[in-house]
Amino acid sequence: MEEVVHARGHEHVSAEHASTFEVTSDDWLTPAGDCILAIDADRTPADFDDAFVEACRDEGAEITATFDADGLTETVVGSGHPELTFENDRSMVGRTSDHTDDRTFMIHADFAAEGFDRELVDALADGAALTVTLSVE
């Protein structure tokens, strides 16, 4: 089961955060948003199919997020959780911790923003188009 989100990079993408990564539907980004990988997302967790959301709420769910931009790919694997709500209509956040809120789509992620390939981060800082493919098993 998959969900696909299209977004774009921004000159302030730095991907320096140690515990989260984020894609937002906002069309702007300040330097303080060091977890944000892309802006102007065409979909948010509130848009995801109910069956996908339910699958992600399974305690044993494995969620994979694949980020593709300018021929560069990064994959992050994390876990689902019964408390994931997928209600946020602004942004989606992957976390290395077990914290959940309405923006969280994945916990126990392999790594956070600071772990993303620097070539991919540079492409996003140059404004590259990004496709995020989320899958759950």
Residue 121: pLDDT band by 50, 70, 90 thresholds? very high
Give pLDDT tens digits for 41-51.
999 999 999 99
Q: Which domains does the chain have, with CATH numbers?
A: 2-136 (2.60.120.630)
| pLDDT value at residue 120 | 98
pLDDT mean over 98-122: 98
Residue 81: pLDDT band by 50, 70, 90 thresholds? very high
Q: What percent of the chain has pLDDT over 70?
A: 100
Q: How many CB atoms lie within 10 A of CB 44?
A: 20
Classify 108 in phi/psi space as left (phi over 0), alpha (psi -120 to 50) or beta: left
Q: Are 115 and 57 in contact (CB under 8 A)?
A: no
